[in-house]
A and B are shown apart, each in its own frame.
Chain A
Amino acid sequence: MRPLRRVIARLSTRRRHKLAPLVLLFAALATTGGAYAALAPTPHAEAAAGNSSQVDEGRALFLLNCTSCHGLNLQGGSDGPTLIGVGAAAVDFQVGTGRMPAAKSEVAQVPAKRVQFTQEEIAALAAYVASVAPGPATPAKEAYDFSDANVAEGGEIYRTNCAMCHNYAGSGGALSHGKYAPSLKGVDPRYIVEAMLTGPQSMPVFGDDTLTPEGKRDIIAFLKTTQSEPSPGGLSLGKIGPVSEGAVGWVFATGGLIACAVWLGAKAR
């Protein structure tokens, strides 16, 4: 116990050091973060073996992984919304992008993260949720095939319907109270269509009757085209608009001018 005491004694003499609060803060953050990572429940992706039909497999997965928030009968609860009528598309989007299962800490918005289930398991979950009540189905391949879509028209639709939240270049943007519209860069076209069909989280629904399937393909074509285009002006700075561009201009251009002015005014030695 002697050496430990000595360490504590030495530490306590430094407790009024000006960096002490900072060190303490980092220590506290590291401890809570580490404890969370160690203790948080990790969702189990084990499929119940022996069930022949997809719906049964999905039900087993659902009971294991989803019921604590969405309820035994998909009715929802204080921690999660009801899943009755959300359809297979919603399940495919939420689980396929890693948003579900969500952690309790993800209060304002559930982010996309590492996917916890295999494609077969996701399909089984989707089949089970769709079997309880009808909803938008997982879109067929043709729904997001944008090979012959109209990029220009997609741009027009995108600017009226999507750009206000997702930014003119699909870089995403802020909403209220910590919510945000995520970036659309590198998102699988299937998930873009599913998001429009189901309206996940803060996003409203853009159904096929008002925003035609053709229009949806055009939007995807526009997004994929703008994202693959080179940036002829040099650095794109995240394409988040005048904020990043202005910041770089002010910091580097004005900073450079000030540096030149200081050099001009300094007396040579």
Chain B
Amino acid sequence: MPAYKHRMTKLFLRATLFASTIALIQAQTDSRTAEIEAARDRKESQLSPDTPNTWEQRLIYVKDAKVLERLSAGIAGVRLKIGGMPTGSGFAIGPDWFREDWGRGEMVLNAGAQGSTRMWHKEYASVKATGFAKNKLWWEAEALHHDYNSLTYYGPGPDSEKSNRTNYRLEQTTVDTMLGGRPVPMVRLGGSAGYLRVNVGAGQDERFASSEKSFPAVPGFLRQTDFFRTGLFAQLDYRDNPIGTRAGGNYTLRYDYFHDQDLNLHDFRRLDLELQQYIPLYNKRRVIVVRTRAIQSFTRPGQVVPFYQQASLGGGNDLRGFRPYRFHDDNMLAMNAEYRWEVFSGLDMALFFDAGRVSPRRWQFQFSQLETAAGFGLRFNVRNATFMRIDAGFSHEGFQVFVKFNGIFGDRSLHSSLAPHLF
């Protein structure tokens, strides 16, 4: 039999079988009910467990077993902490112990240690007690030691050269305590005290000169001292959501007195004022943010602020077209404006303009002399909280890209004895 005839015969038989089957079904389904029952018959012959696929099963397990929550909570409060060191540390990681269920849930305990790829390290412990005076008072204490072996320094003053990049080692140990009160819901007031031990050494990043060799006359490099600090703070905070603010304001004021314990050279007082205002537009899908931060130092004749306690300007938190810690001096003014708009629920974009300047004299800032930067950024959000941001800033010194795992202009410590750019 020719091949094509063989194929045609097979096709004929199949067609006959197919049509007969349909006819048979049709004969059995002479009502709508029978038709539905026939479909049920077919379904019933193919029943199988309705199980999710492997990927869905894994996601169900992650949620049911609260895997992310367990990782976050750790084992008996011990978990891995990633990040949390100042800019320049490289990738930082270390164990962190956190409990908030002690003292009937009115104590928060935290301790940990971190090391970074650039061999910086930090150890810390803190306790916070709430619940006094009908939850209107709280107390905190913190001890910290760090050794940052290659912090960047470009020299003092607003005219420091970008090419004069050096680095230094800063080892500090602090013990701070504070007592705060909340007389009305949006206001916090309090006082704090602390002790600070400082050791400055040669920078370990061999790509750059060590700072004390380039700037031997800068106070603080050759002789170090300890400080006893006392301070007051006040905060008015009416932001709608502190971790993803779209409306409201946050105004903080700190005033600290640093008393030189050994050299009688570095007594100074510092005023740290920050004003943040969030102006919502279009149901908060657009936000204009304006922020001003001013740090002013006060010294008596014969006293100077050591360089490691001076205000710093530049980097991902204030002047984003400049390198981190680009400018240092006793006084600083930074102004930022951002226009943010929602791209979709998980992403906002921002256009920003930054201006600022450091100065050896108080309130000596002429607008024409301000360093400026402009750029754009991305703000990644989960559940109304910013968990990551990318900012690209442009200035006459080039451009900088910053990837940060926090919201810009976030909350800052009201009681730390460290320099403002290190907490």
Q: Do A and B come from one complex?
A: no
- A residues sitting closer than 8 Å to B (CB atoms) are none
